[in-house]
């Protein structure tokens, strides 16, 4: 190892501080921390930020993806197209809804749905497509929407890895019928855990507010005023349960954090973009490693900075020894034990390409010094491992 001081470089770090604490304190002072006015306010600010008509705050993107598909009430057993490389929640959403995930191979550039494979695998049983904006790199939404509209399919965008970027001049999350965002602690912005469903069709997603709140058609915080209001009759406590409900609501503590984070989001996105550019510049001259995507940091909001390298495990160990955290996003889902029954061994690109993928540290608190430390480690690895470094990558 070089004589440089060893650093400890984390993969993802939430950027939270005094502003979030001040907002939480306000909720404590008001003594309302459950589903309440802050959730309402955060939903409104998110709508304005994304530029859409309707938004529903949830406790996760997993819940958002579940309810997004539930909104269409598809007949049981129908199929939903999902890219083979994604987080489990994308493929669980159809299963929660008694639908079948249909794994589509990935495009080697976007690591999202491969258009040709999507067309090849289409049958009359397919009712929806779930494009994932993998790592923040946009799926080819114009083409996916053309295909979906031609076949009469619904589209739910999984935007868990990006927040606020546009694709071909239109905000990501507004291309499909519904977009789902994640505010889990490691994501582009956080509420601890949290998610949001957005749409331009209010009639499509606002009924899901009951499904997120154990089937109850009225928000408790709006009803409580009636508990003591003399003008209201004795039925102020009444609500209807007409749908299958889940306990999926966002709460005011999470929304308090979100209201501070949404103000910081443009700055955090900018910082990540600068880091991506620094990595790309630093990687110039490396022969055996290449960036995970054709990164365009001026256009897209990235959550993952990754590389391809043939001897992945070897490099991961080398970086680990230098205090540099890494990960792999993701092993193809059909290879996971639970998803075996949907594995038709027909996603060859995903099965090959994931074996060279490594995720490197990227978050808005990463310093230039830390980025340079990671880049130096990549260069020194390549120098020390010439024979291995000559192995080919796609
Ligand atoms: C692509 C993708 N979709 C959905 C989710 C689920 O998000 P959440 O943790 O908010 O439920 C994740 C989480 O990592 C993800 O990576």
Residue 227, pLDDT score: 77
Residues 145 and 230 in one domain: yes
The residue out of 228, 263, 298 marking a domain boundary is 263
What is the pLDDT of the chain when averaged over all its residues?
95
Residue written as token pair 């949290």: 194
Q: Is the domain of 323 the same as that of 354?
A: yes
Residues 234 and 274 in one domain: no
Residue span of the structural domain in which 114 resides: 18-263
Domain stops at, among 248, 263, 278: 263
237 CA to centre of ligand 1 in angstroms: 36
Check residue 394 and give its pLDDT.
Answer: 57
222 in Cβ contact with 282 (< 8 Å)? no
Token output for 97: 């809804």
CA distance 3 to 5: 6
Name the nearest CA neighbour of 71 among 8, 194, 146, 155: 155
What is the structure's pLDDT at 3? 54
Q: How far is 78 from 124, CA to CA, in rounded Å? A: 9
Give me 307's structure tokens: 């590389």
Q: Is 160 in the pocket of ligand 1 (CB under 6 A)?
A: yes
Q: Is residue 10 part of a domain?
A: no
pLDDT digits (tens, 9 = 90+) for 8-45: 999 999 999 999 999 999 999 999 999 999 999 999 99
For ligand 1, atom 14: residue with the closest CA: 87
- State how far the Cα of 65 lies from the Cα of 180, in Å rounded to an integer: 6
Looking at the fold, whether 79 and 227 belong to one and the same domain comes out as yes
Considering the domain architecture, whether residues 169 and 312 belong to the same structural domain is answered as: no
How far away, in angstroms, is 64 Cα from ligand 1 center?
10
Number of domains in the chain: 2
Cβ atoms 61, 48 nearer than 8 A: no
State the average pLDDT over residues 199-204.
98
Is 12 domain-assigned?
no
Residue 4 counted as domain residue: no
Q: HSE (CB half, 13 Å, CA atoms) of 238?
A: 5
Strand ranges across the sheet with 126-129? 54-58, 195-199, 178-182, 154-158, 126-129, 79-83, 100-104
Cα 162 to middle of ligand 1, angstroms:
11
Give the model confidence (pLDDT) of 120-164 as tens digits: 999 999 999 999 999 999 999 999 999 999 999 999 999 999 999
pLDDT digits (tens, 9 = 90+) for 77-118: 999 999 999 999 999 999 999 999 999 999 999 999 999 999
């Amino acid at each position: 190892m070089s004589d440089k001081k060893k650093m400890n470089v984390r993969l993802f770090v939430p950027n939270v501080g005094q502003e979030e604490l001040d907002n939480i304190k306000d909720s404590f002072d008001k003594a309302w921390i459950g589903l309440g006015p802050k959730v309402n306010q955060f939903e409104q600010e998110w709508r304005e930020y994304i530029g859409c008509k309707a938004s529903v705050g949830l406790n996760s993107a997993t819940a958002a993806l579940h309810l997004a598909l539930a909104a269409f009430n598809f007949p049981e057993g129908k199929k939903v197209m999902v890219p083979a490389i994604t987080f489990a929640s994308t493929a669980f959403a159809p299963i929660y809804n008694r639908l079948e995930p249909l794994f589509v191979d990935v495009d080697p550039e976007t690591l999202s749905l491969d258009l040709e494979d999507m067309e090849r695998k289409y049958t009359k049983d397919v009712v929806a497509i779930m494009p994932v904006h993998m790592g923040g790199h946009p799926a080819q939404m114009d083409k996916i929407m053309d295909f979906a509209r031609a076949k009469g399919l619904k589209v739910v965008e999984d935007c868990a890895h990006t927040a606020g970027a546009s694709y071909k001049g239109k905000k990501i999350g507004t291309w499909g019928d519904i977009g789902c965002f994640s505010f889990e602690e490691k994501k582009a912005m956080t509420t601890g855990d949290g998610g949001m469903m957005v749409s331009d069709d209010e009639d499509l997603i606002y009924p899901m507010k009951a499904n997120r709140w154990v089937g109850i058609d009225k928000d408790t915080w709006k009803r409580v005023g009636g508990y003591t209001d003399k003008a209201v009759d004795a039925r102020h406590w009444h609500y209807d349960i007409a749908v299958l409900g889940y306990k999926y609501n966002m709460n005011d503590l999470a929304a308090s954090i979100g209201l501070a984070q949404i103000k910081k989001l443009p700055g955090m996105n900018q910082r990540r973009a600068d880091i991506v550019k620094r990595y790309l510049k630093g990687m110039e001259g490396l022969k055996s490693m290449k960036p995970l995507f054709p990164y365009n940091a001026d256009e897209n909001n990235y959550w993952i900075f990754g590389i391809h390298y043939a001897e992945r495990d070897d490099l991961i160990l080398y970086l680990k020894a230098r205090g540099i955290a890494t990960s792999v996003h993701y092993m193809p889902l059909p290879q996971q034990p639970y998803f075996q029954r949907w594995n038709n061994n027909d996603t060859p690109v995903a099965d090959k390409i994931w074996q060279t993928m490594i995720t490197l540290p990227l978050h808005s608190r990463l310093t230039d010094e830390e980025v340079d430390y990671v880049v130096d480690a990549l260069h020194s690895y390549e120098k020390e491992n010439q024979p291995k470094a000559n192995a080919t990558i796609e």
